[in-house]
Amino acid sequence: MGMSQALREEIRAYFAEEMGGEPQSIPSLEKYSPTALEGFYRLRRATTVESTLPRKVRELIIVAVEAALKKDPSGHARLAVRAGATPQEVHDAVALTLWLAGMPAYHEGMKAVRAAEAAAAEMAAAANA
């Protein structure tokens, strides 16, 4: 079953606003499982846009969870910095994984710290341009 053009546009606008673009999984979900895409979008929207947590806090939590799961947290680290987090705050979120998920999770989290440092440097350079 296809997805309406209006819903397609709503989903694209959401990801553009929340993530700066579409995750690479979206086109295949749209093509092969539009119902799953709609469900994913509605769940994600309900836990982000409608959240009482500030965006910075949400992104820092996601960074820590991704590091603990040993999934590259770089993308959400960049989003955290864009939402006002510092590289130190990204590190502090990642450091929580040491006692919860061990050194391998912390090592994965270092990708987030490097991404946060790069994002902060890019933002500083853009502000000075």
pLDDT tens readout for residues 73-124: 999 999 999 999 999 999 999 999 999 999 999 999 999 999 999 999 999 9
Domain of residue 24, residue span: 5-48
How do residues 63-81 score in pLDDT, each as one tens digit?
A: 999 999 999 999 999 999 9
Residues 80 and 122 in one domain: yes
Burial tier of 108 (Cβ tally within 10 Å: 0-12, 13-18, 19+): buried
Evaluate the CA torsion angle 113, 118, 123, 125 in order and state its sign: positive
pLDDT bucket at 37, cuts 50 / 70 / 90: very high
Residues 122 and 69 in one domain: yes
Residues 68 and 123 in one domain: yes
| CATH code of the domain in which 71 resides | 1.20.1290.10
Residues 94 and 113 in one domain: yes
Short-list 55, 67, 68, CA closest to 112: 67
Tokens found for residue 59 = 């992104």
The count of domains in the chain is 2
Residues 28 and 75 in one domain: no
